[in-house]
Chain A
Amino acid sequence: MTDHEAPLSQEREHGGKPLLDAAEQHNKLVRVWGNPGGLRVLTVVNHTAIGRYFMITGAVFFIIGGLMAMLMRTQLALPGQDWIPPHIYNQLFTMHGTVMMFLFAVPILEGVALYVIPKMIGARDLAFPRLSALGYYCYLFGGIILMTSVVLGIAPDTGWFMYTPLSDAVYTPGLSADFWLIGITFIEISAVAAGIELVVSIMRTRTEGMTLQTMPLFAWYILAMSLMIVFGFPPLILASILLELERAAGLPFYDVLRGGDPILWQHLFWLFGHPEVYIIFLPAAGIISTILPVFARRPMVGYRWVVVSVISTAFISFGLWVHHMFTVGIPQLAQAFFSVASMMVAVPTGIQIFAWLATLWTGRPVFEVPMLWTIGFLVIFVIGGLTGVMLALVPFNWQVHDTHFVVAHMHYVLVGGMFFPLVAGLYYWWPHLTGRMPSKVLAHWGFWLTFVGFNLTFLVMHLTGLLGMPRRVYTYDAGMGWNWPNLVSSIGGFVMAAGIAVVILDLVLHGLAGRRARINPWQADTLEWATATPPAPYNFVSLPKVSGRHPLWEQPDLPETIAEGRHGLTSINHGRRETWGTDPVSGRIREIIHLPGNSWWPFFSALALAFMCIGLLAKVYVIALAAALVALGLLLRWAWENGTHPAAAPDGRTAAGEPPLHSRTFDGPGLWGMGVTLLANGSLYMSLLFGWFYLWTVAPQWQLPEHSHLHWPLLLAASLLMPLGWLWLRRLIARLRAGDDARLQQGLWWLALLGCGQCLLLIAGWWRSALVPGDTAHDAVITVFLMYTLLHCALATVMALMQAWRARRGYVSRLAPYEPLLVEYWWGYSAVTTMVSFAALVLWPLGWGGA
């Protein structure tokens, strides 16, 4: 693409930067950024590849979940059928929901986000490439573990929300529930990792000049989704850990007789479960907000309104969870809070819908295949949203809760609000992913079959529920008035399945053999269309400076000028993968972020974690412990290869006029990553605190143990020592900032020693407390608190040790002062939670009524 006859005046117009030889530049970049083949494909960390893996794997799970649905609909077509006996049917509906929610919906949208976001914000990769690879392998291995249970016929069978006591060891003995608890928790690591990654990437790796106000709306949606994942997944992670402890080790949390409460599970589950559906909806709405302006040929109306709506939805959705529990017996006033909040959340959604409408109305729409799916989304999602508002009304909810009305509602919002936008987005980005255009005729067939089939299946299902048919029944009696609606739904299901098959066929066929796409075939405005299609692993030869919201509309020649190397960060001779590190608000360049290349660590770490899960499942705890230690070792060794380590960026020199490498400054993506991780950690801790106070105040048979007494002096000492360590570390860092690293190494060794002492104090305090965790929920929860605190102090000690050793090797010094700041965040967090735990476990009972 280089024009060797370009006149000199053109050169000077672009700031006089020398033109690069495109082919040579591409080769140099590929040497640094390339994805290897063969077995080494397992080392790939590049976001384009990982995004694709998520999308393909998600699609496979979608098909599996869909087949399960077809089996159920076949059985329910007629009354009284039992060729699928109840014990199989119960596995089918449980796994259909589990697969669709955990193995399809969230991962595939993550895949889209991982693929699109860096390109849209003008970056070369995500902030933590190895983390996204780890996330993928955790998802893949977790999914395989879960599918193994299906193949063996012992899949989870108590519903995808696993209510206790049905899912506890008494009523579901055997391994099925453990597959869910352990497998899903493993998969959630993947989701939280992606969440952390996307937050940091969106905040710190946008290209120069892309301010918070000019970044694409899709980035706002994904930012909100990611923060919701960070806060919303940990309650379920905690709930699952507690249930697994109850099942495998007899620690009561949900068992009434020993002071637990099955409703605690419901609270923790739905604290996750409600935000989960908005985590699924927001990225899909983001896809619509991206596509619509392109096909309306005008910018999105109401950018600020949409940002306000997205942030409002993200927060308010955390205040709705009890609307899944309106029949549990909670007093009316409390229910009213959630009823009102559930209606309030419709307002930001309504604003988005009318903003889209306004964009279409005041634009010049052009009708392409993605718009067909967008209309489908609108009709189906609006119906789903309206039945949602109906369900928010408590007296009506009391009739239709746990009936097929809810099944109809949730499929309308999930299929309408997620699947249709997803397909619209796939058709839209298909030219980008594959370099080929999608079809027209086959695409129309696929759409109409799916749309008609879907409505045939689920519209009449509202009536089925109103006629009194409950959920999760493997068969039903004739004479209830349910025969014809079920038959219609089942026929509709087959039509819809045909439609989806056509869509998949269409995408695959045209992805392999469709018409070749030209650059920016839809005349879109966002930066991802400035890459090659399909994209090179490095995305952009040079990183542009943007000044408005619509880079490709404002500068239509950007694809060419980027490829010609006329913009920033073109140097590659140092062999490092680099992208800009920019200010989160103004987009001003702050540092150069150097990124890791291909690596085996993610794959093997995920494998070790998978073996740990298998060991836990099989109850061979020796294997689980060994695998956990191996995983820890691998993760620490991975962390070792950072910063100034020879495998990372030992040579910190940057070109003249370029900012420093992030590892030579006091800020960088890792610090932000640690911060966001601690938000997730904090959410888990707050869920634990909630569990403690909840059981203490409202568990039906809360009881204090006969003999155990928390050894508060030792625990007090532990909770005072931790803050001391934190302050000590802060002092070391203050000296580093002043340029003094003379006694850094020594200080870090002392810190590690203090950490060891801290751990020993905790262990001693635990020992002396003589807890009997199997007897009462009281002691069980205290045990979990102690495990949590000990884990954090141990990790803090390990981190201090690592830093001391790295200081000794010269990897950490006043020239590379970055890493101790991450450790300081962890120490601070651990100090605060240790003190809060002391207050909650020792001080609170004194006030409330006897420890």
Chain B
Amino acid sequence: MSSPYHPMQLVFGLAIWAVWFVMIYAGLSIACEHLVEMEGGTLSWVNLVLMAFTMLTCGLLLFLAHRTWRDARPSWRDQSSAGRFIVRTAVMLNLVAALVTLAVGLPVVMLPPCL
């Protein structure tokens, strides 16, 4: 499944995004319910943690896009058009996932966590 030509490559990127999404929403909710003073109106350590996690995930997805492309190059000419299609599409999808991760995570640098 780690071959860049495997069809599951098409879903790995957005699946990672989905897991990231669940974790930041759940993490934020639990932090606000149990760990943080609700009256705080400023950015706090919660924002930092969430932002770091977002950047990490975005970086991971960009890296996956890069790695898929890089791993596919040596055997490019020997592949069928279906294989090449999977690689190109998977790279695009990983980039989409990275973009959506960054976009959805952006409010973390703007808003206090628990208001």
Contact = CB atoms under 8 A, between A and B. Distances in A.
Judged by CB atoms under 8 Å, the answer to whether A and B touch is yes
A386 interface: no
Contacts of B7: 212, 584-585
B114 interface: yes
B104 interface: yes
Contact of B89 (A308, A315, A318, A339): A308
B81 A319 contact: no
Contact of B93 (A213, A312, A697, A698): A312
Interface in B80-95: 80-83, 85-86, 88-89, 92-93
A340 B103 contact: yes
A319 B112 CA distance: 21
B28 A213 contact: no
A641 to B, nearest CB: 32
B8 to A, nearest CB: 10
Interface stretch (A77-85, A137-145, A328-336, A631-639): A328-336
A318 B18 contact: yes
Contacts of A341: 21, 100, 103-104
B24 interface: yes
Nearest to A340: B104
B104 A319 contact: yes
B34 interface: yes
B86 A212 contact: yes
A332 B18 contact: no
Contacts of B11: 311, 315
Contacts of A842: none
A152 B25 CA distance: 44
Nearest to A348: B96
B14 A315 contact: yes
A332 B83 CA distance: 44
Contacts of B108: 333
A802 interface: no
B69 to A, nearest CB: 15
Contact of B25 (A212, A311, A337, A586): A337
Contacts of B106: 340
A450 interface: no
Given A319-B104, A333-B108, A333-B112, A304 B92 contact: yes
A331 B114 contact: yes
Contacts of B113: 331, 333
Interface string B19-49: 0010011101110111000000000000000
A69 interface: no
Interface string A519-542: 000000000000000000000000
Nearest to A211: B82
Interface residues of B, number: 41
Nearest to A339: B107
B112 to A, nearest CB: 7
B3 to A, nearest CB: 11
Contacts of A56: none
B10 interface: yes
B85 A213 contact: yes
Given A319-B18, A331-B115, A334-B25, A311 B104 contact: no
Nearest to A698: B33
Nearest to B6: A585
A339 B111 CA distance: 13
B29 A334 contact: yes
Q: Is the interface of B mostly helix, strand, loop or mixed?
A: helix
Contacts of A308: 89, 92-93, 96
A50 B84 CA distance: 37
Contacts of A336: 107, 110-111
Nearest to A849: B34
B80 A211 contact: yes
A760 B76 CA distance: 56
A467 interface: no
Interface residues of A, number: 30
B34 to A, nearest CB: 7
Contacts of A214: 81-82
Given A213-B81, A337-B21, A316 B100 contact: yes
Given A319-B21, A697-B34, A304 B85 contact: yes
A405 to B, nearest CB: 24
A461 to B, nearest CB: 31
A312 B88 CA distance: 15
Nearest to B92: A308
A304 B89 contact: yes
B10 A334 contact: no
A66 B33 CA distance: 45
A337 B93 contact: no
A698 B38 CA distance: 14
A585 B104 CA distance: 33
A585 B10 CA distance: 12
B82 A586 contact: yes
Given A311-B93, A315-B14, A697-B34, A333 B107 contact: yes
Of the candidates A337, A339, A698, the one having the most CB atoms from chain B within 10 angstroms of its own CB is A337
A213 B108 CA distance: 39
Given A311-B10, A311-B11, A312-B93, A212 B85 contact: yes
Contacts of A344: 100, 103-104
Contacts of A333: 28, 107-108, 111-115
B28 to A, nearest CB: 5
Contacts of A331: 28, 32, 113-115
Nearest to A315: B14
A331 B39 CA distance: 12
A650 to B, nearest CB: 34
A307 interface: yes
A236 B107 CA distance: 30
Of the candidates B14, B17, B82, B93, the one having the most CB atoms from chain A within 10 angstroms of its own CB is B82
Interface string A796-837: 000000000000000000000000000000000000000000
A231 to B, nearest CB: 10
Contacts of A316: 14, 100
B100 to A, nearest CB: 5
A150 B112 CA distance: 49
A523 to B, nearest CB: 26
Nearest to A322: B25
Contacts of B111: 332-333, 336
Contacts of B17: 315, 319
Closest 3 CB pairs of A and B: A336-B107, A213-B85, A211-B82
22 contacts: A211-B82, A212-B85, A213-B85, A311-B10, A311-B14, A312-B93, A312-B96, A315-B14, A315-B15, A316-B100, A331-B28, A331-B32, A331-B114, A333-B107, A333-B108, A333-B113, A339-B107, A344-B100, A344-B103, A585-B7, A697-B29, A697-B33
Interface of A: 211-214, 304, 307-308, 311-312, 315-316, 318-319, 331-334, 336-337, 339-341, 344, 584-587, 693, 697-698
Given A312-B14, A318-B18, A332-B115, 9 more contacts: A211-B80, A315-B17, A315-B18, A316-B100, A319-B104, A331-B115, A339-B107, A341-B21, A585-B86
